Amino acid sequence: MNAVYDESTIQTLDWQEHIRKRPGMYIGKLGDGAASDDGIYVLVKEVMDNSVDEFMMGYGKKIELTIDQEKVRVRDYGRGIPLGKLSDVVSKMNTGAKYDSKVFKKSVGLNGVGIKAVNALSSEFSIKAIRDGQVKELVFSKGIQVGEMDLAATEEPNGTIVTFRPDESIFKGYRYVSDHLVNLLKNYTFLNAGLTIDFNGHKFFSRNGLRDLLEENLEADPLYPIIHLKGEDIEVAITHGNQYGEDYYSFVNGQHTSQGGTHLSAFREVLVKTVRDFYKKDFDPDDIRASIVAAISIKVEEPVFESQTKTKLGSKDMGPNGPTVRTHIFNFIQKELDNYLHKNQETAEVLLRRIQESERERKAISGIKKLAKARAKKSNLHNRKLRDCRIHFTDNDERREESCIFITEGDSASGSITKSRDVDTQAVFSLRGKPLNTFGLTKKVVYENEEFNLLQAALNIEDSIDDLRYAKVIIATDADVDGMHIRLLLITFFLQFFPELIRKGHVFVLQTPLFRVRNKKQTIYCYSEEEKLAAMDTLKGNPEITRFKGLGEISPDEFKYFIGSDIRLDPVQMKKHESVAQMLEFYMGKNTPERQDFIIDNLYVEKDEVA
């Protein structure tokens, strides 16, 4: 039966209804707080951005953030929102002062949307403005005003107080993870030297800007002291290490552009040109940028981002009457970095040696790469190893963010997932046996080892992590000792040669049920001993209990429940101050007494496996 399309099907939604119906348009993915880019952090950020913009304009040197039982309160000491427009600012779309570049010259929030999204997506929302001895407060629920405090006199200092609680009907089972918030707040202070942020009584402050950011995030001592350059509307910090890959932190008007954009592209390009000109050698760009750790921050009038969540800069110009972003960055880096290298000969010599080391390694494996590519083609990757998803062969860009690849071990496990997967968005790559322990090996092994060569080809990450074909790389192994070992070996491989995969949050571990508890009427799948006991209590009587020993034991009909909308994924994350080299040395290096003690102290034996 065809759906009727007439006047009755045309709807006009109120602003808050539209935001609540399509939250992803405004805050990206929803999530439950496990990932740093989940929606609940975007809500915090939208409020914080407004307070930081006040600091950037010279008003208020302190911001207070309090989170208590998932209720968020942000208090700044800026100018305070004009009291007569308080309601419009939080409840009328495309309303705000950011359109006036004289008032907010280089701010992040320009569309008059962010604070409205917070309002609409919160079960409780209040905003209080204190301005020149007067205070006004409004209270909302899900974007609808439910209360108002009359204009009153006050002795409180100027500023704005926003309090909200994310709506649990939208953010299901959410919780704030302190580490994600701390990373966000530290970035604010690194980008705004002199700003103090008080988070639940803990103060964050930076005196040296991006130099502090790099020092905070370096995993080991850099090869040379951090090069810290500052100019008009631009700040850069650069150094090199010994790790594989390139590591960048890029920002526009204080916004962390995690996907880069025109400014990062220009920086990577001019870095190569400046270094080549300084040494008067036509080095390969990959050799110059290998192992780099760098941060760049620029301030742009009326920036254009490629999404509402502002993770990628699209602007080509610094402002309506200014130079292009590329020209501004080129002029600054070519002058300042060249001057620095001329004045710091020791640093210049260390950098030259690092480039030459990378060049030697690249040339040593160039012949192996050609053979490896030919071998991968001959072995027919797509038939023998990879069951790809259809999304890569369509123009549906919206669903590309849903794409994922399961890395499995063994024919039975890969067969079950292949039969039960969503063929549009889920791919499967099958390993043959245990991978090699790559700790301490050079990148030659990526091409010499057939498994890793084919895996690299499947992910499409040989030249750049930016070319990754899947939003999520999911390790799917048995929940036993062998399965755990395979997980470790794969994570070691990624950390050793492609650490950005993990740093940028692409790698996950699939949780699969350990038990099936059922009676004639109901089946419950359990992921832990506690869930099993709860299921037994729910089903009463004497239910049948099955202990899954491996993925291959789970039928395709059952597997579809575990990799569908209720999929459980554990993100593979690195904590701050964790050194990749030290971590791999401890877990994957020689068997030391310290590691033996660690294993003994953390040994866990399941009760039902004890004789």
CATH code reported for the domain at 16-205: 3.30.565.10
Locate all alpha helices (DSSP H) within 153-297, ordered by sequence: 178-191, 210-217, 262-279, 285-289
Give the H/E segment covering residue 546.
Answer: strand 544-547
Q: Give the residue among 59, 57, 51, 13 at the shortest CA–CA distance from 127.
A: 51
> How confident is the model at residue 329, as a pLDDT?
93
Q: Give the residue among 372, 482, 496, 491 at the shortest CA–CA distance from 433.
A: 482
Provide the b/e sequence for 579-607 (b: ≥16 CB within 10 Å): ebbebbeeebeeeeeeeeeeeeeeeeeee
> Same topology for domains 210-361 and 379-512+550-609, yes or no?
no
Question: Looking up tokens 């399965």, which residue turns up?
Answer: 483
Query: What does the domain layout of the chain look like in residue ranges?
Result: 16-205, 210-361, 379-512+550-609, 515-547
DSSP for 34-59 reads SSTTSHHHHHHHHHHHHHHHHHHTT-
pTM over 0.85: no
Given a cut of 70, the residues of the chain with pLDDT beneath it are: 1-13, 15, 92-113, 305, 307-310, 315, 319-320, 373-384, 392-400, 412, 575-582, 585-586, 591-592, 595, 598-611
Q: Give the residue among 165, 179, 176, 168 at the shortest CA–CA distance from 41.
A: 176
**Cβ atoms within 10 Å, residue 32:** 14
CATH code reported for the domain at 379-512+550-609: 3.40.50.670
> How confident is the model at residue 111, as a pLDDT?
40
Contacts of 204 (CB under 8 A, 6+ apart): 182, 185, 186, 188, 189, 196, 197, 198
> How confident is the model at residue 605, as a pLDDT?
43
C-alpha pair distances (Å), 138 with each of 129, 133, 151, 185, 475? 9, 17, 10, 27, 48
CATH architecture classification, 210-361 = 2-Layer Sandwich (3.30)
Contact 47, 99 (CB under 8 A): no
> How confident is the model at residue 103, as a pLDDT?
40
In percent, how much of the chain has pLDDT > 70?
Answer: 84
C-alpha pair distances (Å), 160 with each of 50, 69, 316? 10, 22, 33
> How confident is the model at residue 234, as a pLDDT?
92
